[in-house]
Amino acid sequence: MVRNRPTAYGPGGGSASSACLLAAVTLCAVAAVGGLTYKRHQRGLEDTVGTQLLNIARVTALAVDPALHAQAQRSLDSRSAAYLRIKRELLTIRNEVLLTTPTYTLTDFDPATRKARLMVVSDGPGAPGELYHVPRALIDPMRWTFRLRQLLAFADPPASQGLFQPATRGAHGHAARGLRDGEPPSGA
């Protein structure tokens, strides 16, 4: 006669509820690890995209001719030659880096009140001189960008750093010149 030996899940041994418990614990562990991995990668992606956008903003700030921007600021006319030329540059940059939202320049930035004024908008809403409320998360990056622009306007970088030559010397770097003249930067 053959006797049934007890097993963990067979007749006379263990229970189906312990198998369900094991499956539930395993599922929870997999979900927790998956959730943590997702969060970590999401933060990494946000940091990468944020860094890229800040770099685009900084290069754009360096590419815009400050004298031309001052003309647009004085006139506050979206039909002026200075405004239209800067707008064309912003559109070129926006299209080159595949941004889907309008780009714009700001002036009269006040970190204490978190306010600035729109000056030139590539496309979309916003008139020259219109008040812009700066999001809290952008205060430091904007402060750094405005400070960088001021420093480069008075600096005399070595010839090897020709990309960011000071605007006061009439040169806006090879990249900016290429964007304005429709030619690729030299060395590209």
Q: In this model, does residue 99 exceed pLDDT 90? A: no
Q: Can you give the pTM of this predicted structure?
A: 0.56
Higher pLDDT, 188 or 108: 108
Using one digit for the tens of pLDDT, what is the confidence trace for 30-43? 888 888 888 887 88
Would you tell me the crossing angle of helices 173-181 and 16-63 to the nearest 10 degrees?
Answer: 80
Structural domain containing residue 133: 40-152
Q: In this model, does residue 183 exceed pLDDT 90? A: no
The verdict on residue 2 lying in a domain is no
The verdict on residue 131 lying in a domain is yes
The verdict on residue 46 lying in a domain is yes
The verdict on residue 180 lying in a domain is no
Using one digit for the tens of pLDDT, what is the confidence trace for 142-182? 888 777 766 666 554 443 333 333 333 333 333 333 333 33
Q: Count of CB atoms within 10 A of residue 67's CB?
A: 11
State mean pLDDT over 64-72. Answer: 90
Q: How many domains does the chain have?
A: 1
C-alpha distances (whole Å) from 188 to each of 53, 71, 103, 125 are: 22, 31, 25, 34
The verdict on residue 86 lying in a domain is yes
The verdict on residue 120 lying in a domain is yes
The verdict on residue 97 lying in a domain is yes
CB 28 within 8 A of CB 34: no
Could you give the CA distance from residue 174 to residue 185 in angstroms, rounded to a whole number?
A: 5
Could you give the CA distance from residue 172 to residue 151 in angstroms, rounded to a whole number?
A: 14
The verdict on residue 110 lying in a domain is yes
Nearest partner of 132 among 121, 122, 141, 140, judged by Cα = 121
